[in-house]
């Protein structure tokens, strides 16, 4: 039986890679890429360590079922594939497709001797569709949740400042966080940084950016003058800090930007580390 399962893993991997080849051909116009070899190897490896054990487990759990064996087996394969979302989120969709292909090929190999008839065909088809649709709906709900999560940060930047802005997070002795409605307020100094006790925000960026003069008068910064950056971290003996960064300034302003301190220099200025680095 193990030999048949390995053949199924090989066939499913070839079919999966062929699908990628079609996508590659119609999008890039190429006939071959080393990337396809890597796709096949990764898929075959996944099918061997996932598909074969799950298929054996499925046959053991459904061996006494008659009418509902097919949809029950389909559900086991697809449900366990959906669980990979919590292990390797970025590749879970591909793992799900590979699991479905493995299951269908495995069933096709024994279809001739287990072909149900009449009412059983209808029940099995309905059950199979439900088993496949449930994980798809699950993925869709998770993706919608990710899309709906937004950052709500409000940055007050000294008027006329142009250059990179850094926010150092989770600093215990930082000033008490300010809020305006649902927005967390970050007051950036004239050196281009701020420290906060808040963790990094996660989600779709939905932030507000203002220039603020000495009297507190605000002027909204056009979105075209904001370049979203990312996040980073720095660590050394006895310390570890994270920070986010972005750039502010329209094209005409960027030539006049002044010196921007590095993250270690910021930490030194704030008394968070006792040495500087080149």
pLDDT for the residue 98 = 77
Q: Which of the pair, 3 or 224, is modelled with greater confidence? A: 224
Q: Among the listed ranges 36-50, 114-128, 171-185, which one has the minimum average pLDDT value?
A: 114-128
Q: How many CB atoms are located within 10 Å of the residue 148 CB?
A: 9
pLDDT for the residue 220 = 94
* pLDDT tens, residue by residue, 134-167: 555 555 555 555 555 678 899 999 998 988 999 9
Q: Which of 164, 162, 159 is nearest to 265 (CA)?
A: 164
Q: Mapping DSSP to helix (H, G, I), strand (E, B) and coil, where does residue 262 land?
A: coil
Is the entire prediction scored with pTM above 0.75? no
The DSSP element (H or E) to which 224 belongs, if any, is: none
Contacts for 277 with CB less than 8 Å, ≥ 6 apart? 262, 264
pLDDT for the residue 112 = 47
**Rounded Cα distance, 260 and 189, in Å:** 11
Per mean pLDDT, which of 43-52, 79-88, 149-158 is the most reliable?
Answer: 149-158
Q: Is 118 a residue whose pLDDT tops 50? A: no
pLDDT for the residue 24 = 60
Q: Angle CA(252)–CA(257)–CA(262) in degrees, nearest 5?
A: 145
Rounded to the nearest integer, the mean pLDDT of the chain is 76
pLDDT for the residue 245 = 92
Q: Is 100 a residue whose pLDDT tops 80? A: no
* pLDDT tens, residue by residue, 22-37: 666 655 555 556 667 7
Record the tokens describing residue 119, joined without a space: 């009412």
Looking at the chain, the number of H-run helices and the number of E-run strands are 9, 9
Q: Which of the pair, 172 or 169, is modelled with greater confidence? A: 169
Q: Angle CA(56)–CA(57)–CA(63) in degrees, nearest 5?
A: 85
pLDDT for the residue 94 = 73
pLDDT for the residue 153 = 93
Average pLDDT, stretch 203-221?
89
Q: Is 211 a residue whose pLDDT tops 90? A: yes
């Amino acid at each position: 039986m193990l030999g048949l399962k390995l053949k199924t893993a090989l066939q499913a991997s070839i079919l999966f890679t062929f699908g990628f080849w079609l996508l590659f051909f119609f999008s890039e116009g190429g006939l071959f890429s080393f990337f396809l070899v890597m796709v096949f190897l990764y898929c075959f490896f996944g099918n061997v360590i996932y598909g074969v054990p799950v298929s054996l487990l499925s046959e053991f759990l459904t061996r006494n079922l008659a009418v509902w064996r097919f949809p029950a087996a389909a559900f086991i394969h697809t449900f366990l594939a959906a669980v990979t979302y919590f292990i390797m989120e970025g590749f879970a969709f591909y793992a799900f497709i590979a699991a479905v292909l493995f299951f269908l090929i495995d069933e096709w190999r024994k279809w001739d001797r287990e072909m149900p008839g009449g009412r059983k065909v209808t029940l099995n088809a309905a059950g199979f569709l439900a088993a496949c649709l449930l994980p798809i709906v699950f993925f869709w709900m998770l993706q919608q949740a990710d899309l709906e999560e937004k950052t709500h940060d409000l940055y007050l930047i000294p008027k006329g400042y142009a250059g990179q802005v850094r926010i150092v997070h989770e600093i215990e002795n930082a000033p008490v966080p300010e809020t305006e409605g649902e927005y967390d307020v970050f007051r950036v100094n004239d050196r281009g940084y701020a420290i906060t006790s808040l963790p990094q925000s996660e989600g779709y960026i939905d932030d507000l950016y203002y220039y603020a003069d000495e009297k507190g008068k605000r002027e909204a910064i056009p979105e075209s003058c904001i370049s979203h950056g990312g996040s980073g971290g720095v660590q050394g003996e006895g310390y570890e800090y994270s920070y986010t960064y972005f750039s502010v300034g329209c094209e005409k302003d960027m030539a006049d930007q002044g010196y921007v301190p590095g993250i270690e220099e910021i930490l030194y200025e704030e008394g968070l580390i006792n040495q500087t680095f080149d």
